[in-house]
Amino acid sequence: MLHLLVLFFEQEVSKNYMQKMQRSTEEWILISISLLGALIILTFALLRLLRGDWLLAALDGFAVVAMFGIFIRVYFSGNTVLMSHVFVGLCQLVLVMTVMLKGADQLFWFYPAALVVFFLLRPWLALAIVSLSILVLSTLLWSQITMLHLFGFVLSALATMGFAFIFAWRTKEQQLRLLRLAIKDPLTGAGNRRALEEKLLEAVHHFQRVHLPMSLILLDLDNFKHFNDSYGHDEGDRILIAVTDIIQRRIRRSDHLYRFGGEEFVVITDNTGLREACLLAEELRSDIAGATISDCQVTISLGVAQYQDGETGYQWLGRADQAMYRAKGNGRNHLCISEFHDDQLALTDR
Ligand SMILES: Nc1nc2c(ncn2[C@@H]2O[C@H](COP(=O)(O)OP(=O)(O)OP(=O)(O)O)[C@@H](O)[C@H]2O)c(=O)[nH]1
């Protein structure tokens, strides 16, 4: 059955890869905002040119070119992290310079500029930047406008910032909660299959860049059906949770644990060769066999495979799966290693 799952998994992985090729939400936001910003400011630049307001027209022209540059950059490279910061910096610079040149008349630009900061950056960073912006603008206008006018601006600016912060912070929290739900197995807290798919793709891409060894351990509880049948499904669930705890305590923080199927788990160890991975797998096997879980003696069978250059994530997983099945065939509570295809490095079961 697992082989069918692996086949299905292959399709899922390529589907996922196609999805990755599509644009992220951050890209869409930055592409839209930069294009919209460039078009709106272009209108102002043309109006100012017609009125002979050369200095402001030049400033607007600079903003249009820079925003269009950001649009092109994000459209073709997908680089949103750096470009978001550049965009925010540009908006704040143009805002302050416009107010310096034209005075309080231009303060209305503060509001869209503040919203852009909360759209693009983390809520606390956005709060700091917008607070600074209010401080700079108030200092600039201190001697130019009446106290009442200044007070009105500061209060409305603080209200806009407060609302935007609450909204951005709540949205971020909800996103994180949804992300956790989407990638965690609800019973054990280990990563779920979707997270494993992502990790396999990412690991293979990472390997292509750095060529550091990495290994995968696939482990399956032995005769788990028997525990379910004898002690009930709830007790079976408790065993799964306890086994997950034992694995989590043994693996490093940089290792990744996933629950692949019912009683099947996968550990992916970055920067780890086959020998080290086998030592870890053997520790997991003996830790679990030595523990008494709900008055039962639970054992696992394991397959270990080091990633080989050129194979896909699912082929790597498939090799570990075959090794695990050999371990089952060898009487369970056993560990088998996937053979390398490379003749020089041929390894045998242990
Ligand atoms: N309690 C519990 N049982 C589960 C869960 N998911 C799958 N199972 C059970 O896991 C058992 C898997 O049984 P089999 O595939 O026959 O494997 P096995 O009994 O472990 O035998 P071997 O793998 O050959 O050692 C089935 O009884 C499933 O009902 C779960 O989330 N909770």
Could you give the percent of the chain with pLDDT greater than 70? 91
Q: Which residues pair with 268 in a beta bridge?
A: 216, 256
| Confidence tier at 23 by pLDDT (50, 70, 90) | confident
Judge whether 87 and 70 are in contact, CB under 8 Å: yes
**Ligand 1 pocket, 225 CB below 6 A?**
yes
At 294 the pLDDT is 80
Could you give the percent of the chain with pLDDT greater than 90? 80
Which atom belonging to ligand 1 lies closest to the Cα atom of 233?
A: 1
Positions annotated as catalytic residues are 263
* Dihedral sign of CA atoms 148, 152, 155, 161 in order: negative
288-311 burial string, b = 16+ CB within 10 Å, else e? beeeebeebebebbbbbbbbeeeb
- Kindly give, in sequence order, each residue whose CB lies less than 8 Å from that of residue 240, ignoring residues fewer than 6 positions away: 187, 188, 221, 259, 263
Q: What count of residues does the chain have?
A: 350
Q: How far is the CA of 313 from the centre of ligand 1 (A)?
A: 25
**Ligand 1 pocket, 236 CB below 6 A?**
yes
**Ligand 1 pocket, 259 CB below 6 A?**
no
Query: Which domains does the chain possess?
Result: 23-183 (no CATH), 193-345 (3.30.70.270)
**Ligand 1 pocket, 263 CB below 6 A?**
yes
**Ligand 1 pocket, 222 CB below 6 A?**
yes
| pLDDT exceeds 60 at position 105 | yes
Return the residue whose CA atom lies nearest to atom 4 of ligand 1: 262
> Which of the listed residues 225, 239, 241, 265 should we mutate to test ligand 1's pocket, taking the one with most ligand atoms within 8 A of CB?
225
**Ligand 1 pocket, 233 CB below 6 A?**
yes
Note the pLDDT tens digit of each residue in 284-319: 999 999 998 888 899 999 999 999 999 999 999 999
User: How many whole angstroms from its chain centre is CA 296?
Assistant: 38
Mean pLDDT of 193-213: 93
Helices 25-50, 54-77: axis angle to 10 degrees equals 160
The model scores a pTM over 0.90: no
Judge whether 324 and 338 are in contact, CB under 8 Å: no
Q: How far is the CA of 227 from the centre of ligand 1 (A)?
A: 9
Q: How far is the CA of 279 from the centre of ligand 1 (A)?
A: 26
Judge whether 216 and 307 are in contact, CB under 8 Å: yes
Which atom belonging to ligand 1 lies closest to the Cα atom of 187?
A: 31
